[in-house]
């Protein structure tokens, strides 16, 4: 029995379609995605002193201990002329001594000779990570997930796709990153599949990176090269989340202000390049305070959105999830003050048999802090990924999904709702 009324004992709830996809195992047995996610999720016992979402979230800035992950960085040139510029990918590697002081801790660049030898025919599982707003590969929440996987005897590999300008990477064009910036991760996944053709690829995203990863999986649909994905603290509906932040003093003056400040600092680091390539007014941006103001003055003119609301609606992942066709596990805390509960698309999740959502009654934003400094979410994330990689027959996985459709999605003749297009439209314009 779980005593959920005790301080720190969070209630866990699972949300999914009536029948989730069946996953074939290597032994010949079959398990539903819902069964896999529930078995991967241990009881949620958190620090009893951090008894609400605000305290949980605030504690994430206290770095009680470190988790050393070493990286080597490769700067990629975008292969899509619509999103010209460069972006940095950090690959997890064995410990070394000579780090680069111009990069985050325990990070250096690949030499050209080393990178030329990076390809392999091994079948190690590989994780592609997407960090949160203005973060990077150095973030502690990300390393909580990487550390146990990299320590596995089976030998996981991992890389982190840094959003443009983040983690001390350079912006080389007017193309910034936004909540729908799926182009760089798409290029990396394709590159990985070519360089490591035998490796099963998986994805994990945190906060804004969770929204991007969800959009990516939805945009790829049946063509997705990932074998599975996990997202933590996804804001899902960006407009609902933004309005929720603006509705309370704490949301506006603490969270929105802090995120707005972090984005302003990031912009200042790349001011010269951005000013020369975009239509934004840097002096005006320096006077703003909150995140939605930053999005209004930067994202809108950069991408052509008329308002921040239009940007939020277009970049939200709550519709794109309907088109996901790989095993997908989402974890949100109901008391998250940033990725708020009212923004979670419960009905859409119940329509897609490829998705399972676990909500916890306590946890905050990317927190779930345990006694001793651990983060609970790392356990269900790594358990889920390890089970997919080790127990599920990945060869048969894709073939078994071909004839699966949304549970009750049956639009009128002549009409079609495409989740990643965001608008109902006529299939045949002559009808």
Rounded-to-integer distance, Cα 55 and Cα 62, Å: 11
What is the average pLDDT across 353-359? Answer: 97
| Alpha carbon distance 403, 365 (integer Å) | 37
Domain boundaries, the chain: 9-237+316-401, 252-310
* Buried b or exposed e, range 122-161, using 16+ CB within 10 angstroms: eeebbbbbbbbbbbbbbbbbbbbbbebbbeeeeebbbbbb
Cβ distance 179 to 239 under 8 Å? no
Over residues 244-303, the pLDDT tens digits come to: 999 999 999 999 999 999 999 998 888 887 777 777 888 889 999 999 999 999 999 888
What's residue 418's pLDDT? 78
The residue length of the chain stands at 431
The predicted pLDDT at position 160 comes to 98
DSSP class of residue 369 equals B
**431, pLDDT greater than 50:** no
Let me know if domain 9-237+316-401 sits in CATH 3.40.50.1820: yes
Q: Going by C-beta distance under 8 Å and a sequence separation of 6 or more, which residues neighbour residue 390?
A: 154
pLDDT number for residue 417? 75
pLDDT band at 398 (very low <50, low <70, confident <90, very high): low
Does the pLDDT value for residue 173 go beyond 50?
yes
pLDDT at 102 over 70: yes
- Which has the higher per-residue pLDDT, 173 or 110? 110
pLDDT class of 361 with cuts at 50, 70, 90: very high
Residue 260's pLDDT is 96
**Would you call 207 a catalytic residue per the annotation?**
yes
Can you give the pLDDT at residue 422?
A: 63
Range in 96-100, 163-167, 172-176, 266-270 the model is least confident about? 172-176
Is 365 a catalytic site residue?
yes
Intra-chain end-to-end CA distance of the chain, in Å: 59
From the DSSP assignment, how many helices (H) and strands (E) are in the chain? 17, 16
Residue 190's φ and ψ, nearest 5 degrees, are -65, -40
Catalytic residue among 78, 137, 169, 207: 207
Give pLDDT, residue 295: 95
């Amino acid at each position: 029995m779980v005593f959920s009324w005790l301080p720190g004992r969070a209630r866990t709830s699972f949300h999914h379609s009536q029948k989730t996809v069946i996953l074939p195992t290597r032994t010949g047995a079959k398990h539903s995605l819902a069964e896999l996610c529930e078995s991967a999720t241990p009881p949620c016992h958190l620090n009893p002193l951090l008894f609400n979402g605000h305290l949980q979230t605030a504690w994430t800035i206290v770095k009680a201990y470190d988790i050393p992950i070493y990286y080597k960085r490769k700067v990629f040139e975008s292969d899509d002329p619509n999103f010209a510029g460069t972006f940095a990918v950090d690959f997890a590697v064995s410990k070394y001594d000579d780090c680069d002081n111009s990069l985050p801790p325990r990070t250096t660049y690949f030499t050209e000779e080393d990178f030329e030898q990076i390809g392999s025919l091994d079948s190690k599982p590989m994780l592609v990570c997407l960090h949160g707003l203005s973060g990077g590969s150095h973030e502690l929440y990300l390393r909580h997930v990487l550390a146990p996987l990299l320590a596995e005897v089976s030998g996981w590999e991992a890389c982190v796709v840094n959003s443009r300008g983040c983690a001390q990477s350079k912006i080389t064009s007017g193309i910034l990153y936004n909540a729908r910036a799926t182009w760089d991760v798409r290029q990396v996944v394709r590159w990985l599949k070519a360089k490591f053709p035998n490796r099963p690829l998986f994805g994990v995203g945190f906060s804004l990176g969770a929204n991007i990863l969800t959009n990516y999986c939805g945009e790829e649909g049946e063509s997705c090269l990932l074998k599975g994905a996990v997202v933590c603290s996804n804001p899902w509906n960006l407009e609902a989340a933004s309005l929720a932040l603006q509705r309370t003093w704490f949301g506006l003056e603490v969270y929105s202000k802090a995120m707005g400040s972090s984005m302003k600092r990031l912009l200042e680091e790349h001011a010269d390049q951005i000013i020369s390539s975009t239509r934004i007014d840097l002096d005006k941006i320096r006077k703003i305070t909150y995140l939605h103001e930053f999005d209004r003055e930067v994202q809108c003119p950069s991408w052509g959105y008329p308002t921040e609301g239009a940007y939020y609606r277009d970049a939200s992942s709550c519709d794109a999830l309907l088109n996901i066709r790989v095993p997908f596990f989402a974890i949100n805390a109901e008391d998250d003050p940033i990725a708020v509960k009212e923004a979670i698309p419960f009905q859409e999740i119940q329509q897609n048999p490829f998705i399972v959502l676990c909500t916890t009654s306590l946890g905050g934003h990317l927190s779930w802090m345990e006694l001793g400094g651990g983060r609970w979410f790392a356990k269900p994330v790594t358990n889920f990924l390890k089970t997919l990689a080790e127990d599920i027959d990945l060869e048969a996985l894709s073939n078994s999904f071909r004839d699966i459709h949304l549970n009750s999605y049956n639009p009128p003749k002549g009409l079609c709702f495409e989740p990643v297009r965001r608008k109902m439209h006529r299939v045949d314009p002559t009808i």
